[in-house]
Amino acid sequence: MKLSKNLMKLLASDIEPKISIIMPIYQQTQQVEVNLITYKNLLKEVKKELNQYPRREWIKAVEQLESLILDRKLWNETKTALLIFANNEAIEICEVEHQVAAKSHVGSTFLIQDLLLPEEQIHRADFLIDLSRDRIRIYDVSSLKRVKLEGLHTHFSNYYDDFDVKSKINFRSVGKATFYHGHNAKSEQQEKEQSIYYRYLDRKLKNLHLKYGYEFLITGLPKALDNFLKLYAHRKYVSGVIHDSMANLSHSELKERISKYYAFERIAKIESIKQKISSAHKGNQLLNDLNIIEFALNNRDVQSLISFNDGKSYSIAHNKLLIKSLLNKINCRVIYTPNFNRYSSMNAILY
């Protein structure tokens, strides 16, 4: 997740009280009212806590938070969870991909740790392109529904109608004799058609990437996928590759397959972070004391900041350090370890 300029401006604000509302979203139509009830209950808790502050310091924030109750799109279309941050100056709403427990907080800092999980930092593709022998299928990665992209032919034959691959007869001459054939061998013909179409597909995907920033998860039959990747694996529009076809999967099977792919990406990122912590520890470049970490942050000595917790607790001190890191453009991550964790709760890797 890329944090917006407006969110960063709000995180940098000194205006208090700072309000955080964290809540799960249920996407089924019949659950929309449940989402609203959850939000209203959290807002009620927020108002109760705000009574400790002068009314003039929070009235504008509450007005903005109350206005969200009427935003049906927010409650109908949000994916998995909402994080809402507000003070008397501004309000920012963030959607996250992972499950959260409902929580509200009013105080001197925002609770931002859910924005910094590895699963929120993994860049998800916009679309999935599934390659087969003579066509492609396109899915929106968010909804996993089949979609069409502007001007993109999905059947090879629709694209190369005007090409010579449609000619009925091929011939060659040897001396004065002419030998006529029907089609070229079928596999040779398919490879030729495929090659022509993949050049076209590459051009279209490059244009979509340049125009809209779209990125694509490429999947497909092994041979078709190999043929495409031999030429185009390193294109900027390729977000990732699954070496399998999605063509015959049901919606639930496709959802599970994509979830597994991104779960693997998450595990790989976490293992990479743990390796960096171990290396920093061996090289005496690791700090764990919060006061010393804050001093090092102020002194610009910190390369990365990593917080571990059980996924249920929200440390005010940790969130303050995480915000300071973000504002100083220091790489920071939060890792939830609900069972066993052998790492310190806060780890600063020094330069």
Give the rounded percent of residues in the chain with a pLDDT score beyond 90.
69
The predicted structure's pLDDT at residue 186:
62
**Euclidean distance between CA atoms 109 and 290, whole angstroms:** 16
- Greater confidence, 161 or 138? 138
DSSP 196-217: HHHHHHHHHHHHHHHHH---EE
Token pair of 2 as six digits: 């890329």
Q: Where are the domains of the chain?
A: 1-111, 127-157+184-248, 266-351
Tokens of 307: 């917080």
Task: Give the separation between CA 157 and CA 42, rounded to whole angstroms.
Answer: 56
Angle of helix 59-67 versus helix 32-50 axis, rounded to 10 = 170
Return the CATH superfamily for domain 127-157+184-248: eRF1 domain 2 (3.30.420.60)
pLDDT of the residue at 2: 77
Segment 34-88, tens digit of pLDDT: 889 999 999 999 999 999 999 999 999 999 999 999 998 888 877 789 999 999 9
Cα-based angle 257, 241, 221 (whole degrees, multiple of 5): 80
What pLDDT shows up at residue 194? Answer: 83
pLDDT at 81: 92
Q: What are phi and psi of 236, to 5 degrees?
A: -65, -25
Determine how β-strand 216-220 pairs with β-strand 177-181: unpaired
Within this chain, domains 1-111 and 127-157+184-248 share the same CATH topology: no
Is the CB of residue 325 less than 8 Å from the CB of residue 267?
A: no
Which pLDDT value is given to residue 59? 97
CB 87 within 8 A of CB 13: yes
Q: Which of 36, 46, 139 is nearest to 78 (CA)?
A: 36
The stretch 329-343 carries a mean pLDDT of 86
| Residue labelled with tokens 């899915």 | 139
CA distance 28 to 76: 8
Q: Is the model's pLDDT at 181 over the cut of 60?
A: no
Residue 53: C-alpha distances to residues 57, 89, 196, 214 (Å): 7, 15, 68, 46
- Residues 6 or more apart whose Cβ sits within 8 Å of residue 29: 76
Quick one: which of 286, 190, 202, 193 has its CA closest to 237? Answer: 202
Residues facing 86 on adjacent strands = 19, 91
The whole-angstrom separation of Cα 39 and Cα 36 is: 5
Chain CA centroid to CA 86, Å: 24
What CATH number is given for 266-351 in this structure?
Answer: 3.30.1330.30
Q: Tell me the average pLDDT of the chain.
A: 88
Say which CATH architecture domain 1-111 belongs to. Answer: 2-Layer Sandwich (3.30)
